[in-house]
Amino acid sequence: MPVPKAELHLHIEGTLEPEAALALAARNGVDLPFASAEEIRAAYSFTDLGSFLDLYYALMAVLRTERDFTELADAYLARAAAQGVRHAEIFVDPQAHLTRGVALDTVLDGLGAALAAAPERHGITTQLIICFLRDRPGAEALEVFEAARPWFGTLVTGVGLDSTEVGCPAAPFAEVFGRARDAGLRRVAHAGEEGPPPYVWEVLDVLGAERVDHGIRSLEDPELVARLARDRVPLTVCPLSNVRLRTVPDLAAHPLPRMLDAGLLVTVNSDDPSYFGGYVEDNFAAVRAELGLDDETLRLLAANSFHAAFLPEDERAAHLRAVAAHRFG
């Protein structure tokens, strides 16, 4: 039995498995430049974030109806439950769908149906975080934010920032993050994945991000490490993703142990599991094997995931008790 955990860095579009993409393409009459799951997997040889994002956005073409989004999320939740996930704070990229003519209510109501059923069906509580694409204009993010208001509080509990990092400052998103804070939403942002420490400072100081997604390059700046440790800012680290996108040379060189040693509140997550070779427990297993982490370090990482989650205190405490009681096989 995998250790109970929360998954806090998971793009729902990144759970689209090749077989599902082909089935949806056939059902929706979408032409894909791939004839088989093997051909899709053969395209998973990324050189950097950009080369991944090209395929990630291209394959989304198969997602067209509410049912498609419901099935996508339900399939993820079934896999996540088998990997010990008890709580998931899930990212979605609305602009990636709006810009290709799929309406916001198709996306959010479709995902919402699967998320509403998740506690009974999979034993998982969920939240949904709408991410803005940092390579698109801040004004567009504001439009999406306003259009999503009907779902605030019920389905949508937070905002995030993702897509291309280097060369795309976070400052144009200060206004939308301010509105999110005023609306009572939580705020997270990708930074320090490919970008150097100033990108992490910017999401903290300009956006007021409460969690940093990735943040692995923070270690290059001791003052930033001190700030993250002092404020207990969680970092949602995704080891298999970092290897596949070549932000680290291999798992053995991953900074996770150094981040823990520096006193950072680190969590382990899967990012885009269909593309990066594993779901969240696969990431736990990989860091155990390649970094030599012992059971108590894995227990700490699982506990951190609940400390870092946007959960009510009573639910957090119950999850932490389950982590403390877990016996590693």
254 touching ligand ADE, by CB under 6 A: no
**Residue 234 contacts residue 307 (beta carbons within 8 Å):** yes
Q: Which residues bind Zn ion (CB under 5 A)?
A: 271
Residue 150 makes CB contacts below 8 A (sequence gap 6+) with none
Candidates 193, 202, 210, 281; catalytic one: 193
The CB-of-282 to Zn ion minimum distance in angstroms stands at 16
11 touching ligand ADE, by CB under 6 A: yes
Closest CA to 112 of 62, 179, 67: 67
Please tell me whether 9 is known to bind a ligand: yes
Site size with ligand ADE, rule: CB under 6 A: 11
Closest CA to 305 of 89, 17, 13, 67: 89
Q: What secondary structure, in 3-state letters, does 219-269 show?
A: HHCHHHHHHHHHCCCEEEECHHHHHHCCCCCCHHHCCHHHHHHCCCEEEEC
**Residue 14 near which of Zn ion, ligand ADE, none (CB within 5-8 Å, type-dependent):** ligand ADE
C-alpha separations of 267 from 14, 26, 144, 160, 188 in Å: 19, 38, 29, 17, 14
281 burial type by CB count under 10 A (0-12 exposed, 13-18 middle, 19+ buried): buried
**Residue 284 near which of ligand ADE, Zn ion, none (CB within 5-8 Å, type-dependent):** none
Is 193 among the catalytic positions? Answer: yes
In the set 15, 125, 157, 163, which binds ligand ADE (CB under 6 A)?
Answer: 163
Q: Convert residues 164-193 into a mask of x (bound to ligand ADE by CB under 6 A) and - (unbound).
A: --------------------------x--x
The Cα–Cα gap between 172 and 319 comes to 37
The CB-of-260 to ligand ADE minimum distance in angstroms stands at 21
The Cα–Cα gap between 24 and 169 comes to 35
Position of minimal CB gap to ligand ADE: 162
Please tell me whether 272 is known to bind a ligand: yes
Closest CA to 63 of 116, 34, 27, 11: 27
**Residue 49 near which of Zn ion, ligand ADE, none (CB within 5-8 Å, type-dependent):** ligand ADE
Please tell me whether 105 is known to bind a ligand: no
271 touching ligand ADE, by CB under 6 A: yes
**Residues making up the binding site for substrate:** 272
Q: What is the set of active-site residues?
A: 193
Give the footprint of ligand ADE on this chain (CB under 6 A): 11, 14, 49, 56, 162-163, 190, 193, 241, 271-272
**Residues making up the binding site for Zn(2+):** 9, 11, 190, 271
